[in-house]
Amino acid sequence: MFVKVFFPAKRGTPRLPFAQSLFSTTLLFLFSVQVLFAQFSITASEVETWTTPVPVSSDYNLNSAYVYLLNPTALQAIFEGEGLNKGEKKDVGLKKGDYPQYMYLAVNIKDPVNEANTLTIPLMIHDVRNPAISQRLVEYGGRFLENIPDDNLKNDIVAKVKFEAFKGNNSNEFWKKTAEISLNLGRTATSILKNPITGTFSALTDQIIPQVDKGIKSMGNLEDPQKIVSEFYIKLLNKELSGLYEEKVISAILYRIHWDVEKPVRSKFFNNAKPSRVDDLKKMVNTSTAPFLLVVSTKAEYNTDHSQMAYNQQYIEKKAKDFRKIQNSEKREVEKSFLEIMKLAVELNKQMDGFQNSLNTKYPDWLAYSKVIELYFHVNELRKEELGKLVKQEPIIREKYTRLYSNVNNDVDLWFGTELMQKARTVATYLLNNPGPYNYTNRSPRHIYDDIEMLEYYRDRVKQIETQGKLPKEIQALETYDLTLRKLKEMETALFEADFSPDPRLDMESKKSWLLTRASQVYPTCQICGQRVGEKITAIENATYEQNIRQYKDISAGYYSKLECFENIMNGLNAYIKANKDSTTISPMMFASIKQDREDFTRTVNTYNEIAGKDHTTLSSKDLAALIQRFQINREKMLIIIQRLKGLSLANGGTSCLMDEIKP
């Protein structure tokens, strides 16, 4: 930016131009001092400049300009002729005893972005008519052009600095000028009201209207016909707002205000200057014997502000505009990620409101509820990811965004106040904290089932929005719902494997009953358990059938291998009965019992023959199991009969083949 300062001199006197390259575009200051004393003028000459020797990074693309009136009290001495000889005082029209009654200096500037905005900002208003109130000095100074992007500096920016002083007792002229000052300030206020200030003058917006209005009113509040009170305050530099910018001082020009008949020498205040702030340059001008006008130029890098976070679309749009001011690539990336989280949080807030409102109707919006889980999951997932990246950033950025992410987390968690919302947060948090395969190593079956019930609540809510057995496409697109289904499958499989093994000592029907009860009453929420119980029962039945086939084959083969043994036993019984038919050594009761055992043994052998002679390939699993059970009962009867007859009607050797080898 080129700063060109022109000071009108008296007619016939050469103009004193100055041009100094400061920025990339042109900023034009016009400083004219109009005095009522004579044709000679009060002017200001450049007496010193300073430019930073260190190049500024292109990230610093926001330009600001500061204007300060230094040592304003010295202006009165200038108008009283201090430093002028008798002839020079005569030339400028000063007489003995003359002094200014009123001094006024202001800057008039147009908004470089919107020229409809024109401001008159006073640098000094000094009422010196009454020595008793000579301290009534209102002094201003600060940032006049604020953070104008390089891209916006396409045309000259013109600022007109105007100084006026009144002397003598010409009250008409005095009040005329007073009215003019009042009018200019009034126009400033009116202009701002009609064309609200944005961008360049944003630091002045909140302060200028009420204070200018206060100043205008004070001008009309006369305590004495010879006295005017004019005090008001305008904040030219907003400390809170300026904190958003990392600012570097790049240049300064110092002007000394004087009569144009003088030739001020160059100053050396800025020798070896290394200012880090604008105030550093102000403090270097350490004389109070001459008035100066200091113009300082800075370039700044924008740092976003989230001190007034709001979770709505308007806030997002505002910050999206601010984002364009950031030039530093790393800062852009960090801010971009944070804005993504803010967008997710805004959408989360919207979906929560939609769901809560739907509870007042007949049809709760479970799709919105599902999106709440999804958005909360992604807000925290992205937050965790970005916090990990922040460790690589410089401390200031790391601390700032770590705090911001914490604020978002705390704010969002406060939204989950109701029981339904808390369940949604529990589901999302579990999915976030358990991204990998389900780990049930240290989980008891009861704890596994608790996990299932937690996620099943989400799955069950989703089922309520099925249409003809199909879910909306919006549900199918949700990462959290897909993850929930996968987790439930892992959990339910783990539960079934951990707690669905019946006691092997139970028979098949008892095992089946035990499994069905476990699926329907102990773990009713476990869908996979219900499905796999049927499979397990079938497996048990199949395993039992195969076992029964093998057992039946053994029974059948055993029968045919014992036919000779059965025949020998029958022959032995028949021979015993025939030989002892008329014996007096055996009691009739004993003899009748032996004959009954022979009949019972014959029946059991015939039954054995019937069992062993079946075709097992035509038998169902149930019939085959019943047949084996019938054989076992029959075998027990046979063994009892043989045990009774052993040693009586049957010799021990005659039964050994049967006793040792008839097995189930």
pLDDT computed for residue 626 by the predictor: 77
**Rounded to the nearest 5 degrees, what angle is found at the Cα of 472, between the Cα atoms of 467 and 476?**
130
pLDDT computed for residue 547 by the predictor: 72
Q: Are residues 319 and 294 in the same domain?
A: no
Q: Are residues 254 and 363 in the same domain?
A: no
Q: Are residues 363 and 382 in the same domain?
A: yes
Q: Are residues 104 and 147 in the same domain?
A: yes
Instruction: Tell me the residue ranges of DSSP E strands in 71-205.
Output: 100-110, 118-127, 137-139, 141-149, 157-167
If 0-12 CB within 10 Å is exposed, 13-18 middle and 19+ buried, where does residue 352 land? buried
Q: Are residues 563 and 462 in the same domain?
A: no
Q: Are residues 272 and 338 in the same domain?
A: no
**Amino acid type, 206:** D
pLDDT computed for residue 209 by the predictor: 42
What is the DSSP pairing of strand 26-35 with strand 2-6?
A: parallel
Residue with tokens 């500061």: 66
Q: Are residues 132 and 246 in the same domain?
A: yes
pLDDT computed for residue 161 by the predictor: 65
Cα–Cα distance, 593 to 605 (Å, whole number): 18
Report residues of the chain scoring pLDDT below 70: 1-41, 92-93, 97-104, 110-142, 144, 152-245, 468, 541-545, 647-664
Closest listed residue to residue 22, CA positions, set 49, 47, 58: 49
Q: Is residue 535 part of a domain?
A: no
Q: Are residues 326 and 447 in the same domain?
A: yes
What is the DSSP pairing of strand 2-6 with strand 18-21?
A: antiparallel
Q: Is residue 308 part of a domain?
A: no
Model confidence over 165-219: pLDDT tens digits?
Answer: 665 544 455 445 555 555 555 555 455 444 444 444 444 444 444 444 444 444 4
Q: Is residue 527 part of a domain?
A: no
pLDDT computed for residue 13 by the predictor: 32
Q: Are residues 229 and 365 in the same domain?
A: no
- If you ran DSSP here, which 8-state letter would residue 393 be given? S
261 — phi, psi (to 5°)? -85, -10
Cα–Cα distance, 483 to 506 (Å, whole number): 39
Give the range of the structural domain holding residue 639, as residue numbers without chain letter. Answer: 546-661
Q: Is residue 441 part of a domain?
A: yes
Q: Are residues 209 and 327 in the same domain?
A: no
Q: Residue 641: how many CA atoms within 13 Å on its side-chain side?
A: 24
Residue 276: strand, helix, or coil: coil
Domain end (from 273, 302, 331):
302
Closest listed residue to residue 232, CA positions, set 251, 213, 248: 213
Q: Is residue 230 part of a domain?
A: yes
Q: Are residues 31 and 154 in the same domain?
A: yes
In the structure encoding, which two tokens stand for residue 389, read together?
């990246």
pLDDT computed for residue 661 by the predictor: 45
Cα–Cα distance, 588 to 580 (Å, whole number): 10
- Under 8 Å between Cβ of 487 and 433: no
pTM to 2 decimal places:
0.56
Instruction: List C-alpha distances in Å: 505 to 399, 439, 509, 516.
Output: 66, 31, 12, 17
pLDDT computed for residue 187 by the predictor: 57
As for how many domains the chain has, the answer is 3
pLDDT computed for residue 293 by the predictor: 85
In the structure encoding, which two tokens stand for residue 354, read together?
């939609």
If 0-12 CB within 10 Å is exposed, 13-18 middle and 19+ buried, where does residue 338 land? buried
In the structure encoding, which two tokens stand for residue 352, read together?
């929560």
- Under 8 Å between Cβ of 529 and 519: yes
Q: Is residue 76 part of a domain?
A: yes
* CA 236 from centroid of its chain's CA atoms: 35
Residue 249: strand, helix, or coil: strand
